[in-house]
Structures are given as structure tokens and as C-alpha cells.
């Protein structure tokens, strides 16, 4: 949403005070399968959701330029691709209130000239992991990576008292394994007739251009006087989480997440 939490707060306050629209361009929300994931969670099919695991990892997928400068990007992999992972999970859960976070970050690959041509100017994290506590006895395990010696950091999972949902990202290769694009597979884990059952959830086939969809929705909302398609107030919560991750990693301890 912004480089710093203070900037995000200023943006939402300005929108509120002026009556102008503030929407955040998270194109994965316009994938019908992302909407299906939210629908499954919101119907209560999973029961009470108590644990979520999300994130993503590229084996080799580090950008350069402004992406790796602290003053211009604020954060690295967390802000670039991690934001989509967090939104995928939090949107499905109706953005619960975060309380605390304990996190670790590193940039062993970005600072190594064997892996990045701008290693001497690499100022942000290329890997991060966090445990985030929310109101309602819910925890979220967040993990993200631009580069690593592994093919994947695993699927996104929602664990509930009645069922579990597992979602794998689409694609293969060094730049895959993250949630800035399509969904690969969805499976529902549940009991049926006292038998442990796994039910594949059919994906919704589409040819939507997600970037165009988000722009079209914003323009239509302005023309029709509708609320912001992706409200800044929602993504402000995510920005506060990322701010907490950064502070926790620097202090090497759990910290409170600060919300305005």
C-alpha cells in the first residue's frame, strides 16, 4: 500500500476527510478462484478457523532497482509478493484484527553477488517468516521468499474445526510459487460418514486479464458512485502487520501490532 505505516495512515485519513475514493490495486482478488476460496471460508464449511498458513517462495526471483532500496520500497519480498499472500488469507477471513507478531527476516541471497547483480545496494529482506496472532483465537503463519534453495514454501492452508482447505499456487519455475497470479489447485479435507476424505474443488476456468479487471472495477466505481472496490482501510491492516514484522525482526522479539 505504501512505504511506511505512517504513509498508509495518512492516505486513509485523507480519503476519509475529503470523501475521495482510496482503493488498493490487488489484482488477484479478481480471479474467480480467489473469490471461491473466500466463499468456502465464509460459508462456515470449515467450522471455526483457528490456524492459517500462507506465503510463497521463488527459488530465484529477486527484482532490483527501486524494489531493493529501503527508502523507496519499505520492505522487500514481504511488500512485493507477500502482500498478495496476506490479502488472500485475510480477505477470506474478513480481515480480523491483528494483535501481535513474532518475526524473522534475512537477505543472505540479495547481499550475495553470486545471486544478485546489485548485492552492494541490496537493503531489504529477501526472506521473511512470522507468526501473527489475531482476535478470536486465530494464528497465521506467514512465510515469503524471493530466493532460496528449495522449490516451494508450500501451500496455503486454512485449518478449521470441521474441515481444512489447501490451495497450491499456479505454475512452475524460478518465478512461480507465489500468489500474484492464478490458483493451481484447491482441495477440501473433511470427514464423510466417519471416513477421512479429500475432495478436489473444481477450478473456475476463465480468461480474465486481472490487471484490466481491477482498473475497470475502479473506473466503474468512480462513475457509479460505489464504495472503493478494495478499501484502503482493509489494506491498512495489512500494512500494520508488515510494519510489525519489520519491527519484530529488528528487535528479535514479539511486538504489538499498532493500528490507528
pLDDT above 90: percentage of residues in the chain: 89
- CA dihedral defined by 137, 140, 141, 145, rounded to 10 degrees? -160
pLDDT at 98 over 90: yes
**Beta-ladder partners of 167:** 156, 186
pLDDT at 175 over 80: no
- CA dihedral defined by 65, 71, 72, 77, rounded to 10 degrees? 70
Q: How confident is the model at residue 248 (pLDDT cuts 50, 70, 90)?
A: very high
Q: What is the mean pLDDT of the chain?
A: 94
What pLDDT was estimated at residue 86? 94
pLDDT at 198 over 70: yes
User: For 202-223, what is each residue's pLDDT tens digit?
Assistant: 999 999 999 999 999 999 999 9
pLDDT above 70: percentage of residues in the chain: 98
User: For 104-118, what is each residue's pLDDT tens digit?
Assistant: 999 999 999 999 999
In the chain, what are the domain boundaries? Answer: 5-22+29-255
What pLDDT was estimated at residue 23? 94
Q: How confident is the model at residue 181 (pLDDT cuts 50, 70, 90)?
A: low
Question: Do the Cβ atoms of 151 and 37 come closer than 8 Å?
Answer: no
Q: How confident is the model at residue 170 (pLDDT cuts 50, 70, 90)?
A: confident
How many C-beta atoms surround the C-beta of residue 211 within 10 A? 11
The stretch 13-31 carries a mean pLDDT of: 93
**Which residue's entry shows cell 508488515?**
242
User: For 148-166, what is each residue's pLDDT tens digit?
Assistant: 999 889 899 999 999 999 9
**Which residue's entry shows cell 478499501?**
231
Which CATH topology does 5-22+29-255 take?
Dihydrodipicolinate Reductase; domain 2 (3.30.360)
Look at residues 40, 32, 36 and name the one whose alpha carbon lies nearest to residue 158: 40
Amino acid at each position: 500500500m505504501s512505504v511506511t505505516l505512517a504513509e498508509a495512515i495518512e492516505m486513509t485519513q485523507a480519503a476519509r476527510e475529503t470523501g475521495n475514493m482510496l482503493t488498493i490495486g490487488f489484482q488477484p482478488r479478481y480471479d474467480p478462484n480467489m473469490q471461491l476460496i473466500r466463499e468456502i471460508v465464509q460459508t462456515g464449511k470449515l467450522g471455526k478457523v483457528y490456524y492459517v498458513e500462507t506465503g510463497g517462495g521463488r527459488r530465484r526471483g529477486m527484482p532490483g532497482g527501486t524494489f531493493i532500496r529501503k527508502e523507496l520500497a519499505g520492505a522487500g519480498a514481504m511488500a512485493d509478493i507477500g502482500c498478495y499472500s496476506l490479502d488472500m488469507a485475510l480477505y477470506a477471513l474478513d480481515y480480523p484484527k491483528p494483535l501481535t507478531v513474532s518475526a524473522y527476516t534475512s537477505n543472505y541471497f540479495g547481499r550475495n553477488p553470486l545471486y544478485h547483480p546489485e548485492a552492494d545496494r541490496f537493503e531489504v529482506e529477501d526472506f521473511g517468516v512470522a507468526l501473527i496472532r489475531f482476535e478470536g483465537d486465530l494464528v497465521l503463519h506467514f512465510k515469503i521468499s524471493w530466493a532460496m534453495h528449495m522449490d516451494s514454501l508450500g501451500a496455503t492452508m486454512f485449518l478449521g474445526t470441521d474441515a481444512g482447505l489447501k490451495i497450491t499456487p499456479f505454475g512452475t519455475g524460478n518465478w512461480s510459487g507465489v500468489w500474484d497470479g492464478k490458483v493451481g489447485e484447491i482441495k477440501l479435507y473433511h470427514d464423510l460418514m466417519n471416513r477421512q476424505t479429500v475432495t478436489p474443488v473444481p477450478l473456475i476456468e476463465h480468461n480474465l486479464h486481472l490487471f484490466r479487471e481491477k482498473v475497470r472495477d475502479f473506473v466503474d466505481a468512480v462513475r457509479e458512485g460505489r464504495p472503493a472496490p478494495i478499501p484502503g482501510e482493509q489494506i491498512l491492516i495489512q500494512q500494520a502487520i508488515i510494519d510489525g514484522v519489520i519491527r519484530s525482526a529488528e528487535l528479535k522479539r514479539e511486538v504489538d501490532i499498532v493500528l490507528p
